[in-house]
């Protein structure tokens, strides 16, 4: 019987993704309960090992059929698509193209297996755009690839979990997404995800959009017209959703244990408390995809790439959670 498969993409070749990947794999070591398959190219992987001065045993394969089921060593699925001269720390369309090809291969393989998960190192959105890709984030790439309708990004730092109504939208446009239907659909998606992860009655704290939850309509009407009706509809089908709670209160309440998860209304509203709470170990998880996907919660850090000094705690946490979700079916 084939063990669960953990696919790890290397991220942009010119960033810190390859470095944090090899550092994490070196510390985690070989495990008996799953197979680790890195998707990338051998020259990028070997360069990262050299930069970080790591001697890691791994097997290079050209297709998933070559996986040695009896070998617990890391397997590198070499797509051999980085023949250009990689300039560490530089935006390059060719690197962007390679990084997305690795992501798409991971999505393809995970879609074909029932017991697998994907862990992604950071891609560079500018490089991906220069390469001609319109989907600028991992979630959007996977959503298009799998035709998934309702998806969401959840960030986790210790016991603080935050699902986002929107992510890669300008603030001006993000506010237009705060509608009853959108908020209700994200509450429902969050509830279903947490139930599948073993929570019998997840308590969802729903953040307000406006300061002080609008102060009774003085500072906006989205709470009364959109968010509260969505929460009310969720309650009618047995979902334990509560709010809208002022954003300057709800995250601290979640840290204290009042809520299992918070639904934030836009990118920075959810990202800032996560990164202030524990930036180094914060990670990202996608809801609504047909496979498990976790990720680091940082970018390509071109300014320090190639120096071997990048912290890898986030990647290590992302791998740990992917394994836990895949093998133990729990957050």
- Per-residue confidence (pLDDT) for residue 143, from 0 to 100: 96
- Specify the DSSP class assigned to residue 129: H
Q: Both 128 and 177 in a single domain?
A: no
Counting beta carbons within 10 angstroms of the beta carbon of residue 83, is it exposed (0 to 12), middle (13 to 18) or buried (19 or more)? exposed
Q: Both 321 and 240 in a single domain?
A: no
- Other beta carbons within 10 Å of 225: 14
Chain-centroid distance, C-alpha 2: 25
- The residue ranges of DSSP E strands in the chain, in sequence order, are 5-9, 35-40, 58-61, 74-78, 116-120, 152-157, 160-164, 204-207, 241-245, 261-264, 283-287, 292-296
Q: Both 242 and 322 in a single domain?
A: no
Core vs surface per residue 279-307: b (16+ CB within 10 A) or e:
eebbbbbbbbbebbbbbbbbebbbebbbe
- Per-residue confidence (pLDDT) for residue 13, from 0 to 100: 98
Q: Both 79 and 159 in a single domain?
A: no
Q: Both 175 and 111 in a single domain?
A: no
Show the domain range for 128.
1-148+289-331
Select from 271, 286, 301 the last residue of a domain: 286
- The count of domains in the chain is 2
Cα–Cα distance measured from residue 97 to residue 63, given in angstroms and rounded to the nearest whole number: 20
In the chain, what is the straight-line distance between the N-terminal and C-terminal CA atoms, in Å? 25
Q: Both 55 and 135 in a single domain?
A: yes
With residue 268 as reference, give the H or E element that holds it: helix 267-278
- Per-residue confidence (pLDDT) for residue 1, from 0 to 100: 60
CATH label of the domain that carries residue 170: 3.40.718.10
Q: Both 275 and 182 in a single domain?
A: yes
Q: Both 164 and 81 in a single domain?
A: no
Cis peptide before 244 (omega within 30 of 0): yes
Q: Both 230 and 139 in a single domain?
A: no
Q: Judge contact between 86 and 95, C-beta under 8 A.
A: yes
Q: Both 107 and 218 in a single domain?
A: no
Q: Both 210 and 111 in a single domain?
A: no
Q: Both 323 and 277 in a single domain?
A: no
- Per-residue confidence (pLDDT) for residue 319, from 0 to 100: 97
Q: Which of 267, 264, 287, 5 is nearest to 143 (CA)?
A: 287
As a whole number of Å, the CA-based R_g of the chain is 20
Pairing of strands 283-287, 152-157: antiparallel
Query: Average pLDDT for consecutive 10-residue bins of the chain (331 residues)?
Result: 90 98 94 93 97 96 92 95 93 97 98 94 96 90 96 96 94 97 98 95 98 95 98 98 98 98 98 95 96 96 97 96 90 85
């Amino acid at each position: 019987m084939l063990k669960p498969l953990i696919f790890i993409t290397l991220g942009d070749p010119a960033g810190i993704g390859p470095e944090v990947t090899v550092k994490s794999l070196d510390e985690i070591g070989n495990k008996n309960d799953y197979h680790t398959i890195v998707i990338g190219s051998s020259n990028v992987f070997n360069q990262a090992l050299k930069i970080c001065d790591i001697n890691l045993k791994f097997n290079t394969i050209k297709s998933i059929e070559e996986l040695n089921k009896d070998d617990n060593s890391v397997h590198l699925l070499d797509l051999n698509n980085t023949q250009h001269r990689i300039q560490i720390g530089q935006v390059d369309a060719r690197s962007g193209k390679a990084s997305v090809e690795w992501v798409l291969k991971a999505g393809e393989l995970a879609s074909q297996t029932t017991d697998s998960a994907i862990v992604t190192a950071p891609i560079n959105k500018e490089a991906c755009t220069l390469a001609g890709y319109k989907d600028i984030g991992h979630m959007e790439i996977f959503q298009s690839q799998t035709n998934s309708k309702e998806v969401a990004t959840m960030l986790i730092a210790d016991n603080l979990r935050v699902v986002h109504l929107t992510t890669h939208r300008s603030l001006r446009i993000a506010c237009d997404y705060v509608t009853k239907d959108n908020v209700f659909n994200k509450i429902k998606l969050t509830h279903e995800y947490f139930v599948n992860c073993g929570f019998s009655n997840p308590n969802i704290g729903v953040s307000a959009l406006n300061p002080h939850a609008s102060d009774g309509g003085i500072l906006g009407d989205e709470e009364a017209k959109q968010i509260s009706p969505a929460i009310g509809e969720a309650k009618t089908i047995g979902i334990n959703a509560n709010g809208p709670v002022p954003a300057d209160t709800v995250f601290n309440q979640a840290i204290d244990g009042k809520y299992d998860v918070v639904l934030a209304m836009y990118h920075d509203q959810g990202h800032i408390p996560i990164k202030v709470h524990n930036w180094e170990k914060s990670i990202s998880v996608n809801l609504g995809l047909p496979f498990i996907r976790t990720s680091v919660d940082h970018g390509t850090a071109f300014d320090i790439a190639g120096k071997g000094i990048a912290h890898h705690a986030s990647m290590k946490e992302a791998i740990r959670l992917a394994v836990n979700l895949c093998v133990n079916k729990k957050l």
